[in-house]
Each structure stands twice: as C-alpha cells, then as structure tokens.
Amino acid sequence: MTYVLKLLAMVLFVTCVAAYAFKPAFKELLSPAEYKRAWNVVMVTVVCTYLCKFPGVFLFVLAAVAVYAAVLVDRGPVGKLAVYLLLASVAPPIHVNLGGVGGINYLLSLDHLRVMSLVLVSWAAIELVAAKSQPRTVRFLWVDLLVVAYQLLRILLMVPHSSLTTLVRASVEAGLDILLPYYVVTRGIRSMADLRFAGGHMLIGLLFAASVGVAEAALQHNLFSGLQSFYGVQWQLTYQLMRGGLVRVQAATPQPIVLAFMMLFAIGLAYWLKGEQWRRARVTALFGAIFIALAATFSRGQWLAAAAL
C-alpha cells in the first residue's frame, strides 16, 4: 500500500503541474471554471484509481464520478460526451468479468470505457432519441451504413467457430465500444462550439497522459503498471517494457504503442483547436509534452507517422 501511495503522490503532483502549465493554452477553448472543473475530475479519478483496491469497486466509483461530472457540466449530450472523452485517457484498463451461469464462462467483460458507455453515452443517446421536437441537423449518411456493416461482417466471420454466447457477447461489446459512441458523436454534436467543447475536454485527457509519460521518462519508472498487483488484474505482459536500457512510457494505457497513437491524435487535435496560435509561447509547453511522451514510447512507426504529419 505504501508503494501505491507513493505512486499516487507522484501522479497528483504531475497532474497539478500539468493543469497549471497548460492553462494559458486553453484560454480561448474553455472558460476558467470549465478548465478547473475538468482537471478536478481528472484528480478525483486519479485518487479513486489508486485507492479503490478492488476492480468492481473502482468501476462503480468511476461510474459515480462520471455521472456527477456530467451533471455538473450540464450541457446535455455534449457534456456527457465531453466527460467520456476526458476520462477515456485517464483511467487504466482495470476490468472485471461479470460472472456466468451454467456452462458460460462470463457474460461480459467490463472496463472503464464500457462502464462509461453504459452510464454516460447511453444516457446521452436516450436524450437524443427523446428530443424529437428539435430539428435533426444530421440525417442518414452512407458512412452510417458502412460502420454498422463492418460490425455485422466482423460478427458474421465469427459464426463458423464461435458459440452463440460468444456471438451475443461480441454484439453487445460492439454496441458499447463502437456503435453507441458513434451515434452520440455524430448526432449529439450540432455546432462548432459543441465540437470544440468536446475536443477541448478530450485534449485535457490526452495532455494528462502526455504529462504522465514525461514523468515516466524522467523517473524511468511506469506509474500505472504497478496497480496490476494492487488490483490483481493484468493488462500487460510485463510490468515494464525497455528499449536500449530505457523505460518505454505508457501512462495508463496497456502498452506504449497505444500511448504513441494517442499522442499522434493529440498533435492533430491540438493543432486544429489552436489554429494559427500553435506557434505562441503559451502553446509550446502543450506540444512539448506531447512530443516528449511520443518520443519516450520508442514506437518507431509512430515516430515516422509524426514526422509525416
């Protein structure tokens, strides 16, 4: 427990420094109250991550924090989507299998993303369906058919070698992981202001991951992987991956390549949100953290992609 508390202290320190350092870059994106609230949600989530001890307790507390944060934001489906995108990069992939019955191993594997999809994204989807009086700005698109068809194809390819239970589970997982978030994103965001609000919250989550990556590179120690023994849940093959004697950073992700892809997305998202301001000194720290974290993942394919970008 002492080791976990030390990790918690380090991550909280990194979070406070990041919230202070990146604040000038968000001046035109979020109000001071919105920016402060977003980082407070990150801090509360970090504390819960390091103290809950049991996977089921952690997922329940995370759901409560996410719902409370969505109520505070109070912007309808966009607010719930913003909280979902914010916390997607903050919580580690602690998961629990819902117990099966009879000959069924387990009914469903729940992780932080699926729990938030259940409590936040489904809530937003219900609001969108119920708001029939509002004019629909996004109608049926061909891309909708392609997204659904791809999930159906994936499940159909499983039919010859999968049981009925596995097929049902895969269908539910596809709905929670892909289709439900896709519906809320494409139907819930109705203006550029909505898009920038949700994107700003997502960028804060990505910057938290980048900041943890910078700290891991400096300390040469992963700050989240030790939670695997604390929770009794394994989400990576080894506790630390090395490259040339140096630790490959990964923050709360299951492996460095995942963090590298997130940093690639953060580059494009930050550039779009800041526009012509990306050269200003107050934005330098933002891009600096992203590039340092990306470099410290030692993911050569993502290095090449960043150079091309």
Whole-model pTM above 0.75?
yes
Query: Which tops the pLDDT comparison, 302 or 134?
Result: 302
Confidence of residue 38 (pLDDT cuts 50, 70, 90): very high
Mention every residue, 6+ apart, whose C-beta is less than 8 A from residue 33.
none
- pLDDT at 218 (0 to 100): 95
Confidence of residue 132 (pLDDT cuts 50, 70, 90): low
Render pLDDT for 169-204 as a digit per residue (tens, 0 to 9). Answer: 899 999 999 999 999 999 899 899 999 999 999 999
Average pLDDT of 72-82? Answer: 92
HSE (CB half, 13 Å, CA atoms) of 9? 6
Task: Give me the count of residues in the chain.
Answer: 309
Supply the DSSP string of 3-53, one letter for each residue.
Answer: HHHHHHHHHHHHHHHHHHHTGGGGTTTS-HHHHHHHHHHHHHHHHHHHH--
Q: Measure the CA–CA gap between 20 and 249, rounded to whole angstroms.
A: 22
Residue 257 structure tokens:
């390549």
Confidence of residue 138 (pLDDT cuts 50, 70, 90): low
pLDDT for 119 beyond 90? yes
